[in-house]
Amino acid sequence: MNIGVLISGRGTNLEAIIKAVKEGKIKANISIVISNKADARGLKIAEKYGIRGIFINPDGFSSREDFDRAVANLLEKNNVDLVILAGYMRILSDCFIDKFEGRLLNIHPSLIPAFQGLKPQKRAVEYGVMFSGCTVHFVTKELDNGPVIIQAVVPVLPDDTEESLSERILKYEHRIYPQAIKWYVDGRIKLDGRKVFVEKAVYGTVPVNPELEDF
């Protein structure tokens, strides 16, 4: 299976996924990494591991849809079967989602449907919740609201800042995202409307549900 990864920033989740592939835990190939930011550190990470990384400048397109079509065409030229959003800071157009829906995953640093959209860690701290976390989900046309594959819960501490909570959540992002991708690649994820079931997974565990197997 060929994986394409869309990024905008530092690429820490990208690197966690690459390592899982290199270690043979994920039986797939990352065929291309695409960034909408020329200075995205994730492009350097792709280069470090010998993976093709491409910057596509959104300013060169007259509309969001035209940009997304160019990205989609490049993914298809690289025979991508699964598209991974890893810190990709653009809202996808309907035409892109229509093309890849059901094989398009994202990770969001909250327990969705809580704190969808930008700065979820900051909003969690300001709201005063006792728990936050991260979610791997299928991407749909509703922002950060697709069917949930796996979630990890972390406590929010009285002295937490956006940065400290983000760091605590990120440690779990690097574990649950490769796990969800492995399940997908292995054909174990079954989607029924909004409900996701991972075959042979252990449910009902904390802090991660379903239980981590490989990470």
Secondary element (H or E) of residue 192: strand 189-192
- Per-residue model confidence as pLDDT tens digits over 68-93: 999 999 999 999 999 999 999 999 99
pLDDT the model gives residue 145: 93
Widest pairwise Cα distance in the chain: 49
From 75, 100, 125, the end of a domain falls on: 100
pLDDT the model gives residue 190: 97
Number of domains in the chain: 2
CATH number at residue 162: 3.40.50.170
SS3 57: coil
From 32, 67, 100, the end of a domain falls on: 100
Q: Write out the E strands in 1-103.
A: 2-7, 29-35, 53-55, 82-86
155 and 88 in one domain? no
Which structural domain, as residue segments, surrounds residue 207? 107-215
**Mean of pLDDT over the chain:** 97
204 and 131 in one domain? yes
108 is catalytic: yes
115 and 85 in one domain? no
From 65, 84, 100, the end of a domain falls on: 100
| Per annotation, catalytic residue among 108, 137, 174, 175 | 108
13 and 86 in one domain? yes
pLDDT the model gives residue 178: 98
Using CA atoms of 126, 146, 191, 32 in order, give the dihedral in degrees to the nearest 10: -100
Secondary element (H or E) of residue 70: helix 64-77
83 and 141 in one domain? no
81 and 121 in one domain? no
Residues of the chain with pLDDT under 70: none
Burial of 199 (0-12, 13-18, 19+ CB in 10 A): exposed
52 and 129 in one domain? no
pLDDT the model gives residue 105: 98
pLDDT the model gives residue 129: 98
pLDDT the model gives residue 133: 98
113 and 207 in one domain? yes
